[in-house]
Amino acid sequence: MASQREIRRRIGAVKNIRQITRAMQFVAASKLKRAQESTIAARPYGHSIDEVIADLAAVLGEEGHALLSKPADGGAKLIVLFTTDRGLAGALNSNLIRFAMKELESAGPGTRVVTIGKKGRDALARGGFEIAAAFPGYGDKPTFADVTPLVRLLVDDFLGGRAASVTLVHPTFVSTLVQRPEGIQLLPIQPTADTAGIPGNQFLFEPDPATVLEALLPRYVATRIFQAVLETTACEQSSRMVAMKNATESAGDLISELTLTYNKVRQANITREMIEIASGASAH
Amino acid sequence: MSFTLEIVTPERLTWSGEATALVLPTVDGEVGILPKHEPYVTVLGLGEGRITTKDGGVELLAIIGGFVQVRPDRVLVLAESADLAADLDLTTIEKAKADAEQALAQVDLADPGAVATARAAMARALLHLNVAERRRRRG
């Protein structure tokens, strides 16, 4: 059995770990609140842009813009994988990476991948996948302007014919406990059904529908990507919060277990010493 | 008579409430929107917007890009960036302007993307400065 001092040292070490995981849990909880708020704040914009695109697509048809129309079949797919820069976020990153690898393997040859966040880049590089471009994560407070370089890269690749379709792989925030990886086709854009209740042809488009569409589509792509970034941030924080909560609880369990062992050892030592003293006294 | 107005950006809801008139900068000049405007969509440019609120007050705001959608039930302004003059802080803008000037001076002219980014930052700082100063003059 371990010595009394050794067990005491282990209890101290586990208490330190518990302090750190508890602090990380609270930090993640407060960042999660912010991330959730900005995800919700971004929704009206995304919703309205969906509606206007649906109206415009109804007026102009599928041939209205290069970003809407399907290119010839057989082209290479481009997969964009959103992960985090930092670990200690439960199974979030490994789930995303496994999902992306499955997509990559099922997609035909010539499929390329762009990674956001250090974890995705490292895992895919280890797995022997070729990475077309790697972006660092967008941190805790992503802004709309941050995603511009990524948007430009994706739109250029699609319009230049280097990618026949673009798919985003990012976690979706179902609840604090559940985050699901999802693959969503970004390009070519698939207009949603018109939900505004007003037929598109009743709107007056100025200067004309084609110009409005031209200005809108890149913005739509940027909005979609920004939403994926926000979802990733919210999922990272909630996943970390839950993982750290579990770690704090496990540390607590371990501490009570160790304390019990410590007390048993201490008692055994005292008993042994008493026997020694008693037998020494009776020997005299 | 008034209409429901919402001004949103990808980052937040900037303004919402009842308005009696709205002036917006578009790519083809300013447009004014009054109650019972017909359904209308247009692309916004960079400039100053004015909201006349129900109680007669005027709110100035700096708008960059995006579009406006006039629907029978409400008017939606979806701007890339929209800041109320009341929220603009002169010291922050001056700093942004100084940063933009420095970025413009050092930019690599062979890279059109970098030039565009630096110019956009400068235009944004100048617009914010204009709108903030106009508000101060109005008192």
Helix (H, G, I), strand (E, B) or coil at A140: coil
Preceding omega of A109 cis (within 30 degrees of 0): no
B68: CB partners within 8 A, 6+ apart: B24, B26, B31, B33, B40, B41, B42, B44, B75, B76, B77, B78
A18: pLDDT strictly greater than 90: yes
The whole-angstrom separation of Cα A4 and Cα A189 is 67
Q: Which helix (H) or strand (E) holds A116?
A: strand A112-116
The whole-angstrom separation of Cα A189 and Cα A66 is 10
A36: CB partners within 8 A, 6+ apart: A173, A234
Residue B3: both structure tokens together: 């209409």
Question: Would A284 be classed as within a structural domain?
Answer: no
Residue A239: both structure tokens together: 């996943």
Q: How many domains does chain A have?
A: 1
The whole-angstrom separation of Cα A87 and Cα B39 is 49
Q: What is the ipTM of this complex?
A: 0.73
Q: Which residues of A touch B36 (CB under 8 A)?
A: none
Task: Return the CATH superfamily for domain B3-86.
Answer: F0F1 ATP synthase delta/epsilon subunit, N-terminal (2.60.15.10)
Residue B131: both structure tokens together: 């709108």
Given an 8 Å threshold on Cβ–Cβ distance, is B11 in contact with A41? yes
- Residue spans of the domains in chain B: they are 3-86, 88-138
DSSP assignment of A208-274: -HHHHHHHHHHHHHHHHHHHHHHHHHHHHHHHHHHHHHHHHHHHHHHHHHHHHHHHHHHHHHHHHHH
- Give the pLDDT score at A197: 57
A232: pLDDT strictly greater than 60: yes
Quote the strand ranges of B1-102, DSSP E: 3-8, 13-26, 29-33, 40-43, 46-53, 58-70, 75-84
pLDDT, tens only, A113-151: 899 999 989 998 888 888 888 888 888 888 888 888 888
Question: Would A34 be classed as within a structural domain?
Answer: yes
Domain that holds residue A201: 21-242
- Give the pLDDT score at B121: 84
Q: Which residues of B touch A48 (CB under 8 A)?
A: 8, 69, 76, 78
A193: pLDDT strictly greater than 70: no
What average pLDDT does the segment B40-67 reach? 90
A196: pLDDT strictly greater than 70: no
- Give the pLDDT score at B22: 94
- Give the pLDDT score at A249: 96
Whole-number average pLDDT of chain B: 87
Q: How confident is the model at residue A103 (pLDDT cuts 50, 70, 90)?
A: confident
Least confident of A249-253, B16-20, B135-139: B135-139
Helix (H, G, I), strand (E, B) or coil at A160: coil
Question: Would A269 be classed as within a structural domain?
Answer: no
Among candidates B11, B38, B69 on the partner chain, residue whose Cβ is nearest the Cβ of A144: B11
A23: pLDDT strictly greater than 70: yes
Q: Which residue in A204, A221, A226 has the most chain B C-beta atoms within 10 A of its own C-beta, making it the best mutation to test that interface? A: A204
Q: Which residue has the tokens 């280097």?
A: A162
* B104, HSE (Cβ side, Cα atoms, 13 Å): 13
Q: Which residue in A203, A213, A216, A221 has the most chain B C-beta atoms within 10 A of its own C-beta, making it the best mutation to test that interface? A: A203
- Could you give the dihedral angle defined by the CA atoms of residues A187, A193, A197 and A198, in that order, rounded to the nearest 10 degrees? 50
- Give the pLDDT score at A164: 83
What average pLDDT does the segment A175-204 reach? 76
A257: pLDDT strictly greater than 90: yes
Whole-number average pLDDT of chain A: 85
Contact yes or no for A95/A81 (Cβ under 8 A):
no
Interface of A to B at Cβ within 8 Å reads: 38, 41-42, 44-46, 48-49, 51-52, 55-56, 143-144, 148-149, 152, 196, 198, 202-207, 211-212, 215-216, 219, 222-223, 226
pLDDT, tens only, B80-103: 888 888 888 888 888 888 888 888
- Give the pLDDT score at A255: 96
pLDDT, tens only, A73-96: 667 888 899 999 888 888 899 999
A46: CATH = 3.40.1380.10
Percent above pLDDT 70 for chain B:
99
- Give the pLDDT score at A262: 95
Q: Closest chain B residue to A212 measured between Cα atoms?
A: B43
- Give the pLDDT score at A200: 60
What average pLDDT does the segment A224-238 reach? 91
Q: Closest chain A residue to B11 measured between Cα atoms?
A: A42
Residue B43: both structure tokens together: 């692309």
Question: Would A12 be classed as within a structural domain?
Answer: no
Question: Would A279 be classed as within a structural domain?
Answer: no
Query: Which of A271, A249, A272, A278 lies closest to A18 in space, CA to CA?
Result: A249
- Could you give the dihedral angle defined by the CA atoms of residues A36, A38, A44 and A46, in that order, rounded to the nearest 10 degrees? -100
